[in-house]
Amino acid sequence: MTHRASARAAVLPGAPAPGAVIDTRALTKRYPGQVIALDELTVSVAPGVTGLVGANGAGKSTLIKILLGLLVPTNGSASVLGHDCERDGEQIRSLTGYMPEHDCLQPDVTATEFVTHLGRMSGLPPTAAKERAAESLRHVGLYEERYRQIGTYSTGMKQRVKLAQALVGDPRLLLLDEPTIGLDPAGRAAMLELISRIGASFGISIVVASHLLGELEQICDHIVAIDAGKLLRADTVTSFTQASQVLVIEVEEGTGQLLDELARRGLGPKAQDRAVLVRLDGEGTYDAVRDAVADLGLPLNRMERRRHRIEELFQDAAAEPSEMTGAADAR
């Protein structure tokens, strides 16, 4: 999977790129009972494939509902493809395909019937709905199976039908909510490839909401991370990945010595169990670690690159790193 991120401008809060697909300004949603789902969220999403990452309850679903014009924000504003979400909900929904997280398929109809009907509901005339349903199903990789009842499908096939119904109305933007949920590793890989292909070749901007940063990194140009309704970070995947990579070093003995030596070299090491972690800042880090280990003459067992998990990312942002003080400082 190639990262196309470097070719694009970084998405930064407060500085909407011209032609932003999604633009929110101090977007706030308070539910009754003082539950704050979105808290002054200001973010701009450029065309391309964007990951919306956040733990469960971070406000992803609320954001999607507001963007579709189905929920009125308490404060602030949001626009999709240049249309105001509160005013032009119908317009936005005719330009946007939505794939919900949960099961939303009728088991007793065929995929063709299902997607054709939803094509009609997207505003396509009867013949166009039929043609586009067949095409959408072909694009997601359902061929002869589409004449079978959806109830007989595997989870992977069902996810593809969900994607096809989002695609049927020829949207300019796809909102995909946890598209790989419930899939096995092979199914995940196939779904990610499909999303990546749609984003790259169909000219459709995509926002993929997920709690799995690793998956998003594979297919996205940009990542928007939210937590507790607040923007955590919005950046290109490249800078995200750099910021979130650590080097794990394990030596047979002399872990304490190594920690001291790495600290002396300014790498800001951190001990975790029997391993030493340093923030990965490009090729230089490998060299520095190699030199430190060699100078001390320690038996090196393991040295590998590891990504932050999503939880660690959030801890970073909250400046309460559990393992990588250095990483947080460096940001």
Partner 1 sequence: MPADAARPTPASPPPVTAAASGVIHDLGYRRYDGRRLGRAQIARALCWHSLRSAFGIGRGVKAKIIPVIAFGIMCLPAIVNAVAVATSASHASIVHYDTYTSAVRVLVMTIFIAAQAPELVSRDLRSHVLPLYFSRPIRRIDYPLAKLAAFILACLIMIEIPELLLYLGTVLQAHGLSAIWAQTRGVVPGLLVGLMWAVVLAAIGLALASLSGRRAYATGTIAIFFFLTWTLARLLSHIAARVGGAGRPVPANTSGPPHGHIFVFVRPGPVPAGVHLAGLISPFTALDGVREWLGGTTPGIIADPGGYGPAYGLMVLVFLGVAVGGLIARYRKVGIA
The yes or no reply on residue 93 touching partner 1 (CB under 8 A) is yes
Q: Please, what is the minimum distance in Å from the beta carbon of residue 118 to partner 1?
A: 6
Residue 250: strand pairing partners: 302
Q: Please, what is the minimum distance in Å from the beta carbon of residue 29 to partner 1?
A: 13
Q: Out of 177, 215, 235, 316, which residue is the one contacting partner 1 (CB under 8 A)?
A: 177
Structure-token pair, residue 102: 């949960």
Nearer to partner 1, 170 or 323 (CB): 170
The yes or no reply on residue 104 touching partner 1 (CB under 8 A) is yes
**Helices 185-201, 155-167: crossing angle, 10 deg rounding:** 20
For residue 53, which phi and psi values (nearest 5 degrees)?
Answer: -115, 140
Q: What is the largest CA-CA distance in the chain?
A: 75
The yes or no reply on residue 35 touching partner 1 (CB under 8 A) is no
The yes or no reply on residue 296 touching partner 1 (CB under 8 A) is no
Residues 13/232, Cβ–Cβ less than 8 Å: no
The yes or no reply on residue 160 touching partner 1 (CB under 8 A) is no
Number of residues that bind partner 1 (CB under 8 A): 49
d(CA 35, CA 58): 12
Nearer to partner 1, 10 or 228 (CB): 228
Residue 270 CA neighbour count, 13 Å, CB half: 16
Q: Please, what is the minimum distance in Å from the beta carbon of residue 105 to partner 1?
A: 6
Q: Please, what is the minimum distance in Å from the beta carbon of residue 50 to partner 1?
A: 18
Sequence length of the chain is 331
d(CA 133, CA 195): 18
How far is Cα of residue 278 from the mean position of the Cα atoms in its chain? Answer: 25
Q: In what order do the strands lie in the sheet with 300-307?
A: 270-272, 275-279, 245-251, 300-307
The yes or no reply on residue 156 touching partner 1 (CB under 8 A) is no
The yes or no reply on residue 70 touching partner 1 (CB under 8 A) is yes
For residue 24, which phi and psi values (nearest 5 degrees)?
Answer: -120, 145
Q: Please, what is the minimum distance in Å from the beta carbon of residue 33 to partner 1?
A: 16
The yes or no reply on residue 187 touching partner 1 (CB under 8 A) is no
Q: Out of 197, 264, 290, 302, which residue is the one contacting partner 1 (CB under 8 A)?
A: 197
Q: Please, what is the minimum distance in Å from the beta carbon of residue 34 to partner 1?
A: 20
Structure-token pair, residue 104: 């939303």
Residues that bind partner 1 (CB under 8 A): 61, 64-65, 68, 70, 89-91, 93-94, 96, 98, 100-109, 113, 117-118, 120-125, 128, 132, 135, 138-139, 141, 143, 165, 169-170, 177, 193-194, 197-198, 201-203
